[in-house]
A and B are shown apart, each in its own frame.
Chain A
Amino acid sequence: MIGLTRFLTSRRSRRTLTVVLAAAVATSLAGGELVTLPNLTGGIGAAVPVAHLIPAAVGCVIAMSTHSPGADLERLAARDTRPYKAVHVVGLLALSVALLTGAAAVGGAPQLGPSVAWNTFGYAGLALATTPLLGAFGSYLLPLAFTATVPILGLDTAGTPRWWAWPLATANQATAWVWTSALVLVGVAAYVLLPGRTGVGDDPLAG
């Protein structure tokens, strides 16, 4: 237990929780507000609730919280750190989903609960899957790329979300759940099981 507490302390979990709480407050205050994303293909743009966009930031925050200043030392540790890693991200994910869906309900949009949950899983999965390649602080790359691309490619000419565009899904919930469940499983497994790439310290982009 002491080991887990120290592990969580080394990940600055309090700061991460503060950010997730702020995201939950934002969800409760403005989660139901619709933002029209321009459909740059010339068709109809999708009106997306703010509650669907906040999980993109939360997913990145979860992945960035996996940063450890002593990652090189942890590799030499006598004790296997993988269970700690798993408990850390799964716990954080569960807490984030609970807080964000609860906030959506408090904010008067309980119907957004499932979509907020699958968006959190999906974006966190994408970000966690990036960590072995680009490090914790490069993990924003795939979620940002996906968030920016979905409004362009995710809608057909009639304005209907395509089968893979889970951030825009409203009715096709089963497909969205399948996609995001797979993503979060792959992401957590990649983070827990694969060794992180290191460049200068743990910031491989910096070279």
Chain B
Amino acid sequence: MMLRTVLRRSALGAVLLVLTAVSLAIVLAGRDRGVWAGDWRATSLQAQFPVVVLAPLLSAASAQVGGLTHRHGFWRIENTMPRPPARVALLHWVAVLAVGLTAYAVGVIVAVGITAAADSDPTTSTGGPWPSYLGLGALALAAYSAAGYAAGRLLASRWVPLAVGGAVFVWLLALSLAPDPLGRLAIVQADVFSPVDQSLTVLYVLGAAALCAVVVAVALGITRLRRNDRLALRALGLWPTCFVAAAAIVLLALPSAVEPRDPVEPRCAGATVRVCVWPEHAKWLPLLADTAARVEAALPGHRVLPPETSERGLRAEGVSFVLAGGEVTGPSAVTALVGHLLPHPPACVLADRDRIERYVLVLAWLQLAGAGSVGSDVQVDPARLQHLQALPVPEQRRWVAANVDAVAECATGLPVEQAS
């Protein structure tokens, strides 16, 4: 009842509209829907993604609501009303958090609905939403909102909400560029392009939950204090900082935030080359199988691909490949499938001009053979490619077959150049 009163009297409804619009815009327009629709894991990551914008906005709004105690003698009302002041503070925080979680939930529901529609066949279904990713987003919102609320309660300045929102935005921006251990402190793990064979560790999820719980407890503990500078300074002092720092250190000290997933029954296709992928990538399987057959047929008599190739993490042995994040196209499928022969060029290949030029030329030729076009990420010299293509086809094949196994192996000498 009181919560409803708080929501009705304030303009939090307008805030809810803005946050919901942001959440929906990021879910629907943030990334190509073809990448995540139908894939429950990617959908869960995509649904968590709006938190990177909702967190700054919600923390700013929470700071503004928390600052109510400094306006119009409201602290006197709080301290003379029949209810404990802490309960009033808790209620205000719950109201603003409810607004943020509702906006987040709307984005989650829309993303889940899209994938449920694309994954409606129970025989090929890849499961359901991943609670670890979705729960992490909700925890992060609670922690950032509580921190903002506490800042608003402690500091009387009207500029606090803007400063808090800006600071959280910069914090998330900086951590998104930070290396692994530091990046964990953002409590946002929403990279839809993260490898499919990895999942969050239970320890990381528990650690993140503990950090959020400590932040919320400390922030709400601060709000229990009366409006008094001396007490506020004490609240900002050693003990709360120690609690939060300890929880953060535990999170940073974990060996890893992710771990390899247990293998599942893969989806496979292809006759000449059997290609197996994680169920989440089943939509790319026809393209991969078709591309593998073309690549294999391009060099008759020379085995480029093994009889069976699986996506990384599915088989303990044998040749595996990794699909780069994003939409799988013909050229990117070729790059992934021949990755065991032409991996990302190591430093010794990059340092050898002749070797790197041949590397790029071989990859471009295979992409043309397997996909009919060269990917935009392959910076091949057009003159050299034309020169190679001008040769009779058997000559082209001979040159590619002679180079494909050698260009990425720095210890292997390059065959004598004839084609270029």
Q: Per a CB cutoff under 8 Å, which of A38, A42, A206 touches B71? A: A206
Which listed residue, A137, A148, A153, touches B161 by the CB 8 Å rule?
A137
Contact indicator A152/B177 (Cβ below 8 Å): no
Query: Which listed segment binds A: B25-33, B135-143, B253-261, B331-339?
Result: B25-33
Give the chain A neighbours of B64 by CB distance below 8 A. 137-138, 203, 205-206
* Interface residues of chain B: helix, strand, loop or mixed (majority): helix
Question: In whole angstroms, what is the CA distance A204 to B14 when docked?
Answer: 10
A121 adjacent to chain B (CB < 8 Å): no
| Interface check B401, CB cutoff 8 A | no
Do A153 and B67 touch across chains, with their CB atoms under 8 A apart? no
Q: Which residues of B contact A152 (CB under 8 A)?
A: 26, 30, 49, 52-53
Considering the complex, which residues of chain A in the window 147-203 have a beta carbon less than 8 Å from any beta carbon of chain B?
147-149, 151-153, 157, 197, 199-201, 203
Chain A residues near B65 (CB, 8 Å)?
Answer: 205-207
**Residue tally, chain A, CB below 8 Å to B:** 36
How many of chain B's residues have a CB under 8 angstroms from any CB in A?
A: 47
> Is B239 an interface residue, CB under 8 A from the partner?
no
Q: How long is the Cα–Cα vector from A57 to B71 in the complex, in angstroms?
A: 24
Contact indicator B29/A153 (Cβ below 8 Å): yes
- Which A110-151 residues have C-beta < 8 A from chain B? 133-135, 137-138, 140-142, 144-145, 147-149, 151
Q: Report how far A171 CA is from B239 CA in the complex, Å.
A: 52
CB neighbours (8 Å) of B159 from chain A are: 64
Q: Determine the chain A residues whose CB is within 8 A of the CB of B68 once the complex forms.
A: 200, 203, 206-207
* Contacting residues, chain A, for B12 (C-beta < 8 A): 205, 207
A41 at the interface (CB under 8 A from B): yes
B416 shortest CB reach to chain A, Å: 39
When distances are taken between beta carbons in the complex, the residues of chain A under 8 Å from B29 are 153
- If A40-B176, A152-B53 touch, whether A197 touches B11 (CB-CB below 8 Å) is yes
Q: Is B379 an interface residue (CB 8 A)?
A: no
CB of A138 within 8 A of CB of B162, answer: no
Chain A window 9-41, contacts with chain B (Cβ cutoff 8 Å), 1 for yes, 0 for no: 000000000000000000000000000111011
List the A side residues contacting B166 at CB < 8 Å. Answer: 57, 144
Q: Which residues in chain B, 139-170, are within 8 Å of chain A measured between CB atoms? A: 158-159, 161-162, 165-166, 169
Binds A, one of B54-62, B113-121, B217-225: B54-62
Tell me the smallest distance from the CB of B6 to a CB of chain A, in Å.
5
Cα distance A67–B95 in the bound complex, in angstroms: 25
Alpha-carbon distance A141/B59, docked complex (angstroms):
11
> Complex: how many Å from CA A193 to CA B49?
38
Q: Are A203 and B31 in contact (CB under 8 A)?
A: no
Q: Report the bound CA distance from A12 to B18 in whole Å.
A: 29
Residues of A within 8 Å of B32, CB to CB, are 157
Min CB gap A195→B, angstroms: 14
Q: Inside 8 A of A100's CB, which chain B residues have their CB?
A: none
Q: A60 an interface residue at 8 Å Cβ cutoff?
A: yes
Q: B188: shortest Cβ distance to chain A, in Å? A: 10
Task: Pick the most buried of A40, A197, A205: most chain B CB atoms within 10 A of its CB.
Answer: A205
**Least CB distance, B26 to chain A, in whole angstroms:** 6
Contact between chains at A140 and B10 (CB < 8 Å)? no
